[in-house]
Amino acid sequence: MLLLVGLGNPGRDYAGHRHNVGFMAVDAIAARHGFSPWKKQFKADVCDGVLRTPEGPKKVLALKPQTYMNLSGEAVQAAAHFYKIEPRDIAVLYDELDLAAGKIRAKTGGGAAGHNGIRSIAAHLGPDFRRIRIGIAHPGDRARVTGHVLGNFSKDDQQWLEPLLDAIADAAPFLAMNDDVRFMNKVAVLRGEPEEKPAKKDAKAPAAQPKES
């Protein structure tokens, strides 16, 4: 089973925030592939379904922690423990300041790079889960980071955001195959861009994400 985690903060006030793009991506996947209705479990909203892949159908549990970002690991650990899911079968989708808007990068393991949700999951499970980073772009000024991350996507952002979420939903079966490179490439092709490759370690540490309440 794949545990598909989207990160964000719960509640209407946060729903349109750039920091909630992980929630948005998991919502798009669940809707596209006909997952069950969402329910409350593991301090999270969860639903389940099947992704049909070239290797056959793969069971998926989708999870959106409802603990606020900096406690996300509590929900992920509870679900992983209950279903006996190993870190290699956990894919976490979340926002990344230091990627251009709409870019996707996938990797397994590594540091939190200032992201409180990733830091929490690593504290509960160790670092060896899969990370699907969704670029929201840096505002260019460190003083503007908090307002940018904890602000709503703009009207201009919708021109790339909606097609990106559609592409993520279409490419999701590759996540169930544990083939994150093909997932990235499929998203790029669907968006009319060159195929992506796994990112190497950054020469500089990315700017810190703001703390959430």
| pLDDT, mean of each 10-residue run, the chain (213 residues) | 97 94 98 97 97 95 96 97 96 94 93 91 96 93 90 93 96 96 93 66 48 47
Please give the backbone phi and psi of residue 206, each rounded to the nearest 5 degrees, phi first.
-65, 160
Please tell me the predicted confidence (pLDDT) of residue 150.
93
Please tell me the predicted confidence (pLDDT) of residue 112.
86
Domains in the chain (CATH in brackets) are 2-190 (3.40.50.1470)
pTM above 0.85, yes or no: yes
Please tell me the predicted confidence (pLDDT) of residue 209.
52
**Catalytic residue (choose from 17, 19, 33, 115):** 19
Is 17 an annotated catalytic residue?
Answer: no
